[in-house]
Amino acid sequence: MTRHQFAVGLSALMLAATLLACGIRGRPQAPLIIVPAVVSDLAAVRLGNEVHLQFTVPEANADGSRPPDISRVDIFAVTTLPEEGGVAPVLDEWLESADPIFTFDVVLPVEPEAGEEAESEAGAADDDILSPGESVIVIEELTPDAVEPVQIESDEEDEDEDEELDEADAAADSEEPALAGPLLSPPLPRVPRRTYIAVAASRRNRQSAAATAPPVPVQPAPDPPGRPVLTYTETSVTIEWSAPDTARLPVQAPVLAPVADAPPDVPAADSGTEESEPLETEPAETEPTETEPVETEPTGTEPLDTEPVETEPNETEPAETETEPAETELTALSAVTLLPLQTPTRYDVYDVSPPTEDAGEEGGEPDVDDTGIPGPLNDQPLNATSHTGVEATLGVERCFLVRTVDTVDPIDRLALRSVASETTCVLLEDIFPPASPAGLVAVAGGGAISLTWTANVEADVTGYIILRGIGPDASLEPLTPEPITVTNYQDTAVETGISYVYAVQALDGADPPNVSEASQQITELAP
């Protein structure tokens, strides 16, 4: 190989390496658009004239990348009537008619340096500034403007209306009269509802997909129940209340009506048996009937002369029978209606006890459900006007309130809760004495009378008092100046030949202590 050929080959190799290093330019890629993820856990619950909203700030972007590009969360609301046919508008149409009610700024925490605490980009804490992953609860107060429904119309609805108008005009121009259809009952009354929508926005104002909460009814709330009354034992609390005057009752329920006291002249309805007692009947008076002679055509025979037939009145003797009232029960007939069965008024019970020392700073808050919104003690609304089985802790103050729950809208069956009743608080004082001690035994010997008994099982029993009397008819007085903590005692202050009567009482640790009833008395003769 000559020097010239070597130079040419080396140049070709360098050119190929340069082309490979630069690569081949492909089609241009669309710019990557990052938007926040959808707001999660959006929930709405109406309590009286307030709607409690809960949501969680997104922690990532829609494509799962972190940290999220998010600057704020907007909450919108719109009040509408139920959609005809059950088809809801698309979210864009909701947002066009909805009003913004809350806006929360979101800031990302700044990564701390070694030995420093994490701080947000905004610095000082602010109630209107949120962080990714934070759970938020906010309350909207319903106003007359908020409960006024608006009409949401889509482009498809406009086209349908134009088609309906064209069809109506064509029918009017037709010479054939329209056929009358069957009479239909009016539609069932529906209630307006309020829908809440949450949207997260990025720093470039790119919006996430919208999240919606189940709608809540906005018609006037029912009346609250009466102030609850609390009773308690050592282990449980019972809450009772009175129903409001406007409480709904169930309809179309079968009613059993006893008819044992029905008057004898009123026949009892068919009770399903084949045999029945005869009834007293009045004699039937019949008028005599006169028959006119019948004229017939001649048939070759002599016509017959028919005389009018006179019938005697049929006199029937009254049946001498007696009927006794049927002792049975009747099922009252229920009305037939096109309306669905009315759900009776129900109730929710809430624990609003103040914080306790053992609960710390977060103790004593009202119970919350899975969404973080204050929830009742009962899993489902109660049909009764009482609630039992609430655990009691003696020495702690407990407070409770009740709300009325009505089911509205015959189709969607929305829950509508009243404002809270008056709150009732009670300090669960220890007013429960221990049980009487059992197993008292007295043994005389050695110039004394020894007593033993079985220890009480109550955990708060702190001691016992010995009672003694002289003679069978004597009243018993305390023998020990202070309670003793053991379950035995020796009485050495006795005189030989005298009968003594003993009993024991238990005391607990309350202030002042509760004293049990005296145990069974036992008599012993001093040695």
CA distance 219 to 341: 20
In the chain, count H helices and then E strands: 3, 27
Quick check: 364 pLDDT over 60?
A: no
Question: Are 40-167+188-217 and 438-525 equal in CATH topology?
Answer: yes
Q: Which is more confident, 320 or 430?
A: 430
**Beta carbons within 10 angstroms of residue 508's beta carbon:** 20
> Is residue 348 classed exposed, middle or buried when 0-12, 13-18 and 19+ CB atoms within 10 A define those classes?
buried
Quick check: 175 pLDDT over 90?
A: no
Q: Contact, 438 vs 517, CB < 8 A?
A: no
Quick check: 430 pLDDT over 90?
A: yes
Q: How far apart are the first and last CA of the chain?
A: 142
Candidate ranges 84-88, 143-147, 162-166, 358-362; pick with highest mean pLDDT: 143-147
Interval 110-130: pLDDT, tens = 765 555 555 554 444 455 688
Interval 398-419: pLDDT, tens = 999 999 999 998 788 899 999 9
Least confident of 7-16, 26-35, 269-278, 334-343: 269-278
CA distance 190 to 83: 10
CA distance 184 to 226: 42
Burial 158-196 (b: 16+ CB within 10 A, else e): eeeeeeeeeeeeeeeeeeeeeeeeeeeeeeeeebbbbbb
Closest alpha carbon to 521 in 463, 461, 473, 486: 473
**So what's the pLDDT on residue 486?**
95
CA distance 155 to 92: 12
Closest alpha carbon to 425 in 225, 227, 224: 227
Instruction: List the domain boundaries for the chain.
Output: 40-167+188-217, 229-244+343-427, 438-525
Q: Which two tokens stand for residue 168?
A: 């109506």
CA distance 54 to 70: 18
SS (HEC) of 419-462: CCCCCEEEECCCCCCCCCCEEEEEEEECCEEEEEEECCCCCCEE
**Is 438-525 assigned to CATH 2.60.40.10?**
yes
CATH code of 229-244+343-427, in short, is 2.60.40
CA distance 491 to 526: 10
Q: Which CATH number fits domain 40-167+188-217: 1.20.1250, 3.40.50, 2.60.40, 3.30.930?
A: 2.60.40
> Is residue 448 classed exposed, middle or buried when 0-12, 13-18 and 19+ CB atoms within 10 A define those classes?
middle
Least confident of 47-51, 212-216, 372-376: 372-376
CA distance 42 to 213: 6
**So what's the pLDDT on residue 275?**
43
Q: Please indicate, yes or no, whether the overall pTM of this predicted structure exceeds 0.75.
A: no
**So what's the pLDDT on residue 303?**
46
Interval 13-34: pLDDT, tens = 666 656 555 555 656 665 678 8
The per-residue pLDDT of the chain, averaged, comes to: 78
Least confident of 80-89, 176-185, 240-249: 176-185
> Is residue 490 classed exposed, middle or buried when 0-12, 13-18 and 19+ CB atoms within 10 A define those classes?
exposed
